[in-house]
Amino acid sequence: MTRVLVVDDEPQILRALRINLLARQYRVSTAGTGAEALRAAASDHPDLVVLDLGLPDMDGVDVVRSLRAWSPVPIVVLSGRLNSAAKIDALDAGADDYVTKPFNVEELLARIRAVTRRLAAQESGEPVRVGRWTVDLVDRTVVDDGTTIHLTPTEWQLLDVLLRNPGRLVSQRQLLQQVWGPTYVDETHYLRQYMKNLRRKLEDDPTRPQHLLTEAGMGYRFQP
């Protein structure tokens, strides 16, 4: 059973998420403060953390940073903060995805499943389907029924980050830093151009992408 730690200071949200997760065969533990969350993460070793940013004792972004100092556990952030800057701060701190309050439980569960699939994909090394194309990140091949397409080294680096994080929103800053380096974190036009190239090669209709998605002002997401 997947172990999920839910962190929120609103008892009704904790109760609702616990009921819904237990009904879907997750093992659930809860915490109401940042300090409790860090203790629970250290003792229970959850497979995934659902974390509210608005905690009474410390900012949720600081909880993310503290967890990331020693644990790669996936983190899905919840928050009523609607501005994109708060989302970017959480993602850059190491969160894997972001759901805005009030949220639909089914949406949150879908994000949890996406993060779980991402972990499975990272561990398996299996080829990934992008529409009709089969992408092998190990051999660096993109094929469909005998047809092969060529990607540049930079296109491969960008695609590699996205495909290893299926369903996850990856911030512009993260992509720029991982693909081009820390001195390029403001060069967002690089991302726009290379994402355009990847869509032209991999999407059936590059003007209406189904798999390589943009979240305006925030980042990009690979949707399997």
Q: Give me the chain's average pLDDT, please.
A: 88
How high is the pLDDT of residue 50?
A: 96
How high is the pLDDT of residue 123?
A: 56
How high is the pLDDT of residue 119?
A: 66
How high is the pLDDT of residue 81?
A: 65
How high is the pLDDT of residue 151?
A: 93
Model confidence at 12: pLDDT above 90: yes
Which domains does the chain possess?
A: 3-120 (3.40.50.2300), 125-222 (1.10.10.10)
pLDDT in tens, 185-213: 889 999 999 999 999 999 999 999 999 99
How high is the pLDDT of residue 63?
A: 94
Q: Percentage of the chain surpassing pLDDT 70?
A: 95
pLDDT in tens, 106-157: 989 988 888 777 666 555 567 889 999 999 988 889 999 889 999 998 999 9
How high is the pLDDT of residue 6?
A: 96
Model confidence at 58: pLDDT above 60: yes
Q: Percentage of the chain surpassing pLDDT 90?
A: 50
User: Higher model confidence: residue 73 or residue 121?
Assistant: 73
- Which phi and psi (to 5°) does residue 141 adopt? -130, 150
